[in-house]
Amino acid sequence: MGLFDKLRGELVDIIEWIDDSKHTLVWRFPRYQNEIKNGAQLIVRPGQKAVFVHRGEIADVFEEGHYELKADNLPILSTIMGWKHGFNSPFRSEVYFVSTRQITDMKWGTPNPVMLRDPEFGPIRLRAFGTYTLKAVDPKALLKELVGTNAEFNSDELSELMRSIITQAFTDMLGTSKIAALDLASHYQEMAVELRKLVAERIDDEYGLDIPQLFIVNVSLPEAVEKALDTRTSMGVVGDMNKYQQYQMGNAMMASAENPGGGGAEGMGLGMGFAMANRMAQMGAAPVAQPVGAPPPLPSGATWHAAIGGQSSGPYSLAQIQSAIQAGQLDRATLVWCAGMSNWLPAGEVAQTSGLFGAAPPPLPK
């Protein structure tokens, strides 16, 4: 410290803390060799307390107000230093200002998922996060347990400790509450009240702190479980899955018919048409009437292949081939093949499939 600072420390007789920060809990008043004059002015603003510490021993604590430091308003310090008839300036003592206002925007969260047994899902992992406020209520306990000889102590230095305490209390509360995971959202408020009470009991006596407010913002399930729940919810919204699948197949077939030039779209549309035929058959749909003059169907063991987009697709039953023809997904030029045929042939030239197209209309008169 330079000469100017030394002289200023000896001349200044006002002890105060103008706090322009939001997260400072404790601040030590800087004074050259901690010397304080007889009759010095002590100003403790609203939301503050001043604590005098002499040789490592906590002495007097001042609430908000304006004081002139004399032997009569420093009873503990007077006893420690043996003042019987006042004191001569200066005397040495450290002065710590403690903020007693609420520090807001403190955040907490579970660093790792909390394991518990859910009545509906069984063993499950949950994550949670929220916010809370912090306040110093016992400056002596705070100085002894956390601050020590630090010249400044911020709430950020408590975040890790507070997160551990809140997480442990949250885990204990979940284990005893037996609330199903899907019902937790409707109990956030009452859970937050209980959680705040559990945390306050652990930090009040030991650290001289209080947690006036605590909020649970969200309790979330693992991503895989959330996706499964979304699927389950979607199925419940859809209702009749058979009708929904028919609707989806119909849309795909219409989209493919509007773009007949796309080989991939043609193959997809034909596949959807075949799948729709299978679904209708499983649902007991009435068989499609055969065109006049069509040959009898092949035995059930016969399977067909169709050339779609330059690739072999199948095997399909003759009923599926017929459904695809009626849906416009397969025409006379489409190459088909069945066991017993020596080569691929256009569907319009194969006896078993040509009759499925029906009679071609004569050319229009000129």
In the numeric block, the tokens 């705070």 are attached to 142
Task: Read off the tokens for 363.
Answer: 């050319």
Contact between 334 and 271 (Cβ < 8 Å): no
For range 212-219, the mean pLDDT: 94
Contact between 267 and 308 (Cβ < 8 Å): yes
Check whether residue 293 and residue 262 sit in a common domain: yes
Say if 233 falls within a structural domain: no
Taking the C-alpha atoms of residue 290 and residue 47, their distance in angstroms, rounded to an integer, is 92
pLDDT score, position 50: 93
Helix (H, G, I), strand (E, B) or coil at 130: strand
Question: What's the total number of domains in the chain?
Answer: 3
pLDDT score, position 26: 94
Check whether residue 111 and residue 190 sit in a common domain: yes
Among the listed ranges 49-58, 64-73, 199-208, 251-260, which one has the minimum average pLDDT value?
A: 251-260
Helix (H, G, I), strand (E, B) or coil at 57: strand
Among the listed ranges 137-146, 181-190, 237-246, 267-276, which one has the minimum average pLDDT value?
A: 267-276
Q: What is the pTM of this model?
A: 0.58
CATH number of residue 145's parent domain: 3.30.479.30
Check whether residue 94 and residue 125 sit in a common domain: no
Check whether residue 133 and residue 166 sit in a common domain: yes
Among the listed ranges 18-32, 212-226, 256-270, which one has the minimum average pLDDT value?
A: 256-270
**CA-closest candidate to residue 155, choices 179, 139, 136, 168:** 136
Last residue of a domain, one of 56, 82, 99: 99
**CA-closest candidate to residue 28, choices 13, 16, 20, 44:** 16
Check whether residue 157 and residue 258 sit in a common domain: no
For range 74-84, the mean pLDDT: 71
**CA-closest candidate to residue 270, choices 322, 231, 213:** 322
pLDDT confidence of 298, banded at 50, 70, 90? Answer: very low
Using the predicted structure, report yes or no on whether residue 360 has a pLDDT greater than 80. Answer: no
pLDDT score, position 275: 54
In the numeric block, the tokens 């002289």 are attached to 7
Check whether residue 176 and residue 247 sit in a common domain: no
Angle between helices 263-282 and 241-258 (to 10 degrees): 150
Using the predicted structure, report yes or no on whether residue 11 has a pLDDT greater than 60. Answer: no
Check whether residue 58 and residue 119 sit in a common domain: no
Check whether residue 84 and residue 122 sit in a common domain: no
Using the predicted structure, report yes or no on whether residue 295 has a pLDDT greater than 60. Answer: no
Portion of the chain with pLDDT greater than 90, in percent: 28
Check whether residue 92 and residue 122 sit in a common domain: no
What percent of the chain is helix, strand and coil (3-state, nearest 5)?
A: 40, 25, 30
Among the listed ranges 85-99, 122-136, 187-201, 204-218, which one has the minimum average pLDDT value?
A: 85-99
Most trustworthy range by pLDDT among 206-215, 308-317, 341-350: 206-215
Task: Read off the tokens for 246.
Answer: 């028919």
Say if 362 falls within a structural domain: no
Task: Report CA-CA distances (Å) from 353 to 156, 220, 269, 311, 347.
Answer: 80, 57, 20, 19, 6
Last residue of a domain, one of 33, 65, 99: 99
Check whether residue 249 and residue 327 sit in a common domain: yes
Say if 227 falls within a structural domain: no
Task: Read off the tokens for 75.
Answer: 């009873």
pLDDT score, position 331: 85
Which residue segment(s) compose the domain that 345 sits in? 241-356
For range 182-208, the mean pLDDT: 92
Check whether residue 126 and residue 212 sit in a common domain: yes
Say if 25 falls within a structural domain: yes
Higher pLDDT: 289 or 195? It is: 195
Say if 205 falls within a structural domain: yes
Higher pLDDT: 64 or 290? It is: 64
| Backbone region of residue 101 per phi and psi (left: phi > 0; alpha: psi in -120 to 50; beta: other values) | beta
pLDDT confidence of 7, banded at 50, 70, 90? Answer: very low
Check whether residue 20 and residue 63 sit in a common domain: yes
For range 77-97, the mean pLDDT: 74
pLDDT score, position 330: 81
Contact between 73 and 102 (Cβ < 8 Å): no
Say if 28 falls within a structural domain: yes
Q: Which long-range contacts (CB under 8 A, 24 or more apart) does 164-172 make?
A: 165/199, 165/202, 165/203, 166/108, 166/132, 166/195, 166/199, 166/214, 167/108, 167/110, 167/111, 167/114, 169/195, 169/198, 169/199, 169/202, 170/110, 170/114, 170/128, 170/195, 171/114, 171/116, 172/198
Most trustworthy range by pLDDT among 207-216, 254-263, 345-354: 207-216
Say if 236 falls within a structural domain: no
Using the predicted structure, report yes or no on whether residue 85 has a pLDDT greater than 50. Answer: yes
For range 93-98, the mean pLDDT: 91
Using the predicted structure, report yes or no on whether residue 297 has a pLDDT greater than 80. Answer: no
List strands edge to edge, sheet with 311-316: 311-316, 304-308, 335-338, 345-346
How much is the mean pLDDT over the chain?
A: 79
Taking the C-alpha atoms of residue 260 and residue 78, their distance in angstroms, rounded to an integer, is 101
Say if 158 falls within a structural domain: yes
